[in-house]
Structure 1
C-alpha cells in the first residue's frame, strides 16, 4: 500500500528541487547542474506515477516497478538531507568559524572539493538508477497524468428496500429521523421552512444507508409523503445526472402516462428541458428525497440542485447520507445532523449470530458463542465489520477456526469487495494524496487510547516526514497541521474531538486505526516485545513498551526517520536510545 504514496513523494522532491532556497543551497555546495539533471529524470517518471498507482492492483510486475522507484526516491530524499546538512554546516563555519585545524579539514569529508565529488557521485548514481527503471515505463502502457484526480472505485448502487426485522439496533436512530421528518421545520424567523435537509453522518460501514432505508420504507412516511425518491449520488455531484436520476426514481411516476421513455432517452435531452420536467414533476408535491452516499463538497452544485427542487410543497424533506461532516454542514438545513453511533455489544452479538449461523442453530454451539463475544469486540460496534467477520465463519463450526479469526487483525483477513476494509478504504482513497500520508502516520499511535496530541507535535512529525508544505508568508507549519487535522475530522477519521485551541484531544476508532496500519504497513511499524520481522524499508518506528533490548537493533534499519515513544510513562533506557540514534543515520524525528 505504500506505493500509493509515491506520487506525493515525487511531488515533494520536485518542489524541493525547484525551490529558490534549494537552488541557492545546491550552488553553494557546487552540485546545481547535477541536481537539475536529476530533476529532469524525476519529472519523466513522475508524469506516469498517478496512472501506475491506479493500475498496480491488477499488475504484480507494475507493483514491483513502483517499489523500485519508491526505494530510489527514499535514497534521493536522504541525499537531499545531506545537502541540507552541508549547507547548514557551511553557514555555521562562515558565521562562527571552527576550531578544527585547516590542514586536517583539507583531507576530511568537510573539504568542499571532497564533499562536492562525493555528492556528484551520489547524484549520478541515483540518476542512473532512476533512468534505468524509468526506461521500463513504456512496457506498462502508462499514460501521462499531471494532476491527482484519480477515480475512486465506489461501492455498488444502493436501493431503498429493507427487511426491517433483519436490522439490529437502529430502532432509536430511526425514531429520531422519523420525528425530524414528521414535525414542521421552522426558519430563523420562526416561520415554516419550505424544504428541510436532514444529514445522517458516520464512517463507512456504520449503517447510514440501512437507517435511511428503514425510514424510507416506514408506512408513516409513505402516508405523509405522496412522492418518494431514492437516488444514488454520482461521485462528482453532477447536476444533470442527478436530475435524470430523480426523474426516473419514483416508481409511481415511472408507470404513469407522463413518464419519460427511459433514462437513455433522457440523456439526449437538453438541460433546459430536463430541469423543466423535474420542476413539473415536483411542483406542489410534498416529497421525500433520499440522496445516498454524498462525497462531493462543491456547494455551488448543491445550491443549484436545491433551487431546482424548491418548487415542492411545504414540508418536503431531503435525507442525505454522507461520511463527511463538512458536507453535512453544507447541505443540512436543520440544526441537527444525526451522527450515527456504534452498535452496543449486545446488538453486535445479535447481528453476528444472524450472519454466522443458520436460524436457530446457534444454540448448539455455546462454546462458539463465547468466542463470538470476543470477536465482536474487534468490530467496535460497526455493523459491516460484524457482518464481514461473521460471514467468514458461516458453515464453520470448528473451535480452532473461530479462535484463529479472533486472534487476527482485521486488516490481515481476506476481504471481499463489500466487506469492511474496502468500505473504509473508500474514504481513504477519496482523500487528496497529502492527507493520505498524514493519516497513515497516525498508525504510529497505539489503539485503545485517547490521544492527547498538540498541533505542534503533529506539525513536527508531519513536517519531519516532508508532508507539510514549505513555510509561507501567511501560514506556519502548525497552521497547516491544524487544517489537515480539521480535514481528517470532517471525514470522520477522528472522533470524540475536543478543541483546546492550541491542541486537539481526539480518539481514533479501532477500525479506522486498522485501516491506517493497513495502508502504512510498509513504512510505519508499532514495535513491542512480540514484534518480529521488521522490514528494512520501514521509515517510522513507534515503541510501545518499556525494557526493549537494544541488542536486537538491525543495522538494516539505519534508514529509519522517525522514532516515537507515544505511551505515557513508557520510554527508553539511555543505552537503548543511544544505540538507535547512532544507528539511524537519517533520523529526522525523535520524541
Structure 2
C-alpha cells in the first residue's frame, strides 16, 4: 500500500516542518539543524515521488523504496508531533493562573532534560535513515515532476433523494418486476401467501437501484399497505433482520412513522418473533431483502416461516450476486439482471463525462468513449465512475490513457470490475487517496456521517486547506463532495446546517480493501496475525481478540470497533494496547465491557479521538485522561453507570466534540468554560441534571443535543451566543421558556428539532431571536402543542417545516404566505390540521399552495423523513 500514499504523507510532513511551531520547538530542543536537514532531504525526495509512482509497476525495487520513504515519514511525524503536545501543555500551565503549581505537578512525570535528550537522539536517527534511503533512490534514475496531472475538477452536485430520471436503460426491467409483483398468484412453490422474487446479477449492475425504482413506484403504494426495506449485507443474522423488519414496518405504517422506536435489542428471540408476526399480521406487505450473501438454507427457511403471516399476496424482492442463493430463496424463476446495452452505456457515459449537449463539440472524444465503454461490460457503476473521472477534461491524451491503461490487465476474479474502479482511484489527487482508504476500516453498508469522517481524517492530519486556513469540517466536506462527484459514494443526504450522511457502494468498499491491504487491517475470526507494519486496525468480531494476535505490531495509530455490539472486554488486552501503541491517534472502544480504564491512558499524548460510548460497566474515569491535550473528540455517550466526569476536564484545550452520559447532578461550569474550541456538546440520559449551566459562557458552541434528561428544567440559550443547531428530545420536565432571554435576544440558530416536549402548548418566544437565521424547524410528538404563534411567519429564511404527531394542533398562522423562503412543508398525525390543509378543498390551501414541496399525511414522505431524522441523530453520535 505504501506506494499509493507516500506523496501525501511526505507533503503533510513538509508542511509541519515548515511551520513556526516546529521551528521554535526544534530550537528549544537543540535539534534545529537536524530538523532542517530532514526538511531539505525530504524536499529533494518529494520531487521524484510522482515519477516513482508512475514507474512502480515496472520496477519492483521502487515499490520497496517508496514503502521505506513512507515509513520514515510516518515515524518522523510521530516523533515531531511530540513538539505540539509539549507546546499545548505549556499553554495549559500558563493559563492555569493560581493553580499553576498544581497543574505543573500534574504534568511533571517527564524529566525535561531526559525528554530533550531522547527527542534529539530520535530526530538524529530519523535524519540518518532518510539520508540513506534518499541515496538509495539515486539508482532508479528518477526524474523530477513538479505537477500532478491526474487532478480532476469537481462537478456540480445535486441532492435529490431518488432521481429516477438519472437511471438509464432499466425501464423494461422495472416493468417486468412490477408485473411479477402485481400478478395475484405468480407461478412458484404453491405457497400463495408468500412470493419471493430474486433479482440476481454481478456487483455494480444496479440491482439495488432497480429495486428502489420498483419500491418507490406509486402503483406499489396502492397495492401494499406496508413497504419494508431491509439491507442484509454480509451476515444473515436472523435476530438483526427481524429487528430491522420491525423498525422498517413501524416507519412505513401510517400515523406511527415518527413514534419513538423501542429498544428491541434487549428482547429475546421468542419476544422478537412475536412482535414481528404481530406487526405483519393482517397486512399485505412488500419486503425488500437487499444484498444477500449467505447460502445457509436453514436460516432462510427459518426466516421465511416467520414471514408467512398477513394477507394473501405478500411479496418479497431479494437482491443477490449469487445464482445459487437466488435459486434457493426464490419461489419464481430468478430475474437475471443483464448489463446495459452499448447504446445505454454510452448514453450513461456521456451523461457523466460531459455537461448536457457538450458532447457534440468533441466527436473524437465520444469515439474514444465508445471504446472505454466496451471495457465496462455493461456495468453502470463502472461506466459512471470512468465517465466522472473524465468530466471537464478534454485532453485527447488523457482519454487515450484511460482507454489504454494497463490496469485493465490486472488479474481479477470472474466478472470483477475492479480495474474500472482502480483506474478512477489512481486518477485521484494524492490527498484524496489516503482518505478513501479509511473506508476499508468500516463494514459494508455502514452509514457515514460528516462527523465520523471528519474526526477520523482530522485525527490523522489528512485535512489540509487548499486555500487559507479553512475549518477542518469545511475541508472534509470538500473531500466528500469530490469523492461523490467521482461516483464513489451513494445514498448521499444533505440535511442542512453542515449535517450530511452517505454510504459507500459495495464494490467501492472492495476497492478500498484492495488498496488498503498491509497497513489498514480488519480483524475478524479469520485473522491469524497482525503484520508489523500495520498502522490502522478495525475489530469486527469479539471472538477474534487475543494478546498473541498483536505481538508483532508496534506502529498502530488507529483502533476501531465500528459494529454495534462488538467491543473489547479484556482489560489486560486494553492495557497492552495503551502501553504498546504510544502513537495512537484514534481509540474507539464503543460497546466495550470494561470496568476501569488504565491510568496509563494519559501517556497517549498523540490521541485525538477517544470513544467509550455504550460502555455499561465503567463508573469512573482516571483523571490522567485530562493530560490528553491533543484530544479533539471524547464520547462518553451511553456510559450509564458513569458517576462523575474526570477532574480537570478544562485542561482538554483542543476538545471540539464532547458527548456525555453521567449520573452527575451538577456540572463543573468553570471546566466547561475553559473549553474554548468546543463546538458540539451532547447530553443524553443524564437523569440527575436539573440545569446545564447558569453562568459559564460557552462562546464557541454551535451544536447542542439534549435527550432523555428526565430532570432537566431549563436551557441556558443566552450563554450560547454561537449556537446554530439545537436538538431537544424526550426531556419531559423541560420548560423551554424558562430562564431564556427575551425574544429580542439575537440568535444564530439554523436548525431546531423539538421532539416529545409535553409541556409545550406553543413555541417558546425566544425562537423569534432566530428570525433571520432559522432554516429548518422540526416539531415531533408534542402532544400538548395547540397553536403556532403568528410571529412564526416572520422567519424570513425558513426553508423546511415538518410537523408530526401533534394531535391538538388545529391551525396554522394566517400569514403563511409570508414565508417566501419555505420550500418544504410536511404535516402528519395532526388530524384536524391535515383536513384543513387538503389540496384545493382545505381552508388553508390558499396559504400554502405556493410551497414547492408539501406532503399532508403521506406515508411515503413520512418514511423518508423518519430516515432523515434517524441519520441526523446518527451524525451527532458518530
Same fold (TM over 0.5): yes
Question: What residue number does 2:15 align with?
Answer: 15
Q: Shift of residue 74 of structure 1?
A: 1.8
SS at match of 1:58: coil
* Aligned partner of 1:528 among 518, 524, 531: 524
Aligned pairs for 1:396-435 within 5 A = 414-415=411-412, 420-435=417-432
Question: What residue number does 1:110 align with?
Answer: 111
Aligned pairs for 1:252-291 within 5 A = none
Q: Shift of residue 530 of structure 1?
A: 2.2
CA contact (8 A) 1:212 1:290 kept: no
* In structure 1, distance between residues paired with 2:465 and 2:344: 49
Question: What residue number does 1:538 align with?
Answer: 534
Question: What residue number does 2:452 align with?
Answer: 457
Aligned-residue CA RMSD (Å): 4.4
Question: What residue number does 1:125 align with?
Answer: 125
* In structure 2, distance between residues paired with 1:528 and 1:45: 38
SS at match of 2:57: helix
Q: Judge which range, 12-21 or 417-426, deviates more.
A: 417-426
CA contact (8 A) 1:325 1:492 kept: no
Question: What residue number does 1:475 align with?
Answer: 470
* In structure 1, distance between residues paired with 2:421 and 2:519: 20
1:114-150 Cα shifts (integer Å, max 9, x gaps): 3222222211111111111111222111010122225
Aligned pairs for 1:310-325 within 5 A = 322-323=384-385
Aligned pairs for 1:152-551 within 5 A = 172=171, 211=340, 213-214=342-343, 245=364, 322-323=384-385, 414-415=411-412, 420-447=417-444, 449=445, 451-469=446-464, 475-501=470-496, 502-551=498-547
* In structure 2, distance between residues paired with 1:101 and 1:15: 31
1:51-106 Cα shifts (integer Å, max 9, x gaps): 1111111111111111222221121111112222222233334444445999x97x
Closer/same/farther in 2, CA of residues 232 and 473 from structure 1, 3 Å limit = closer
CA contact (8 A) 2:352 2:391 kept: no
Question: What residue number does 2:38 align with?
Answer: 38
CA contact (8 A) 1:293 1:322 kept: no
* In structure 2, distance between residues paired with 1:481 and 1:233: 24
* In structure 2, distance between residues paired with 1:483 and 1:216: 29
Closer/same/farther in 2, CA of residues 471 and 149 from structure 1, 3 Å limit = closer
Question: What residue number does 2:561 align with?
Answer: 565
Question: What residue number does 2:580 align with?
Answer: 583
Q: Which has the higher contact order (CA 8 A, sep 6+)?
A: 1
* In structure 2, distance between residues paired with 1:56 and 1:469: 27
* In structure 2, distance between residues paired with 1:58 and 1:489: 32
Q: Shift of residue 414 of structure 1?
A: 3.2
Q: Shift of residue 500 of structure 1?
A: 2.6
Question: What residue number does 1:383 align with?
Answer: none
Corresponding position: 1:135 with 2:135: yes
1:437-492 Cα shifts (integer Å, max 9, x gaps): 11100000012x3x233312211100112211169866311111122112112211
Closer/same/farther in 2, CA of residues 4 and 290 from structure 1, 3 Å limit = closer
Question: What residue number does 2:69 align with?
Answer: 69
Q: Shift of residue 204 of structure 1?
A: 7.9
* In structure 2, distance between residues paired with 1:234 and 1:172: 22
Q: Structure 2, unaligned stretches of length 5 or more?
A: 153-167, 176-202, 208-337, 374-382, 394-409, 589-878
Closer/same/farther in 2, CA of residues 503 and 548 from structure 1, 3 Å limit = farther
Q: Shift of residue 329 of structure 1?
A: 9.7
* In structure 2, distance between residues paired with 1:537 and 1:440: 16
* In structure 1, distance between residues paired with 2:30 and 2:71: 25
* In structure 1, distance between residues paired with 2:514 and 2:172: 31
Q: Shift of residue 544 of structure 1?
A: 0.8
CA contact (8 A) 1:555 1:583 kept: no
CA contact (8 A) 2:523 2:544 kept: no
CA contact (8 A) 1:523 1:539 kept: yes
1:298-324 Cα shifts (integer Å, max 9, x gaps): xxxxxxxxxxxxxxxxxxxxxxx6437
Q: Judge which range, 139-148 or 549-558, deviates more.
A: 549-558
Q: Shift of residue 546 of structure 1?
A: 2.5
- Give the total of aligned pairs: 384
Closer/same/farther in 2, CA of residues 424 and 473 from structure 1, 3 Å limit = closer
* In structure 1, distance between residues paired with 2:118 and 2:345: 70
* In structure 2, distance between residues paired with 1:53 and 1:518: 17
CA contact (8 A) 1:546 1:571 kept: yes
Q: Structure 1, unaligned stretches of length 5 or more?
A: 153-168, 177-202, 222-229, 250-288, 295-320, 332-412
Corresponding position: 1:83 with 2:83: yes
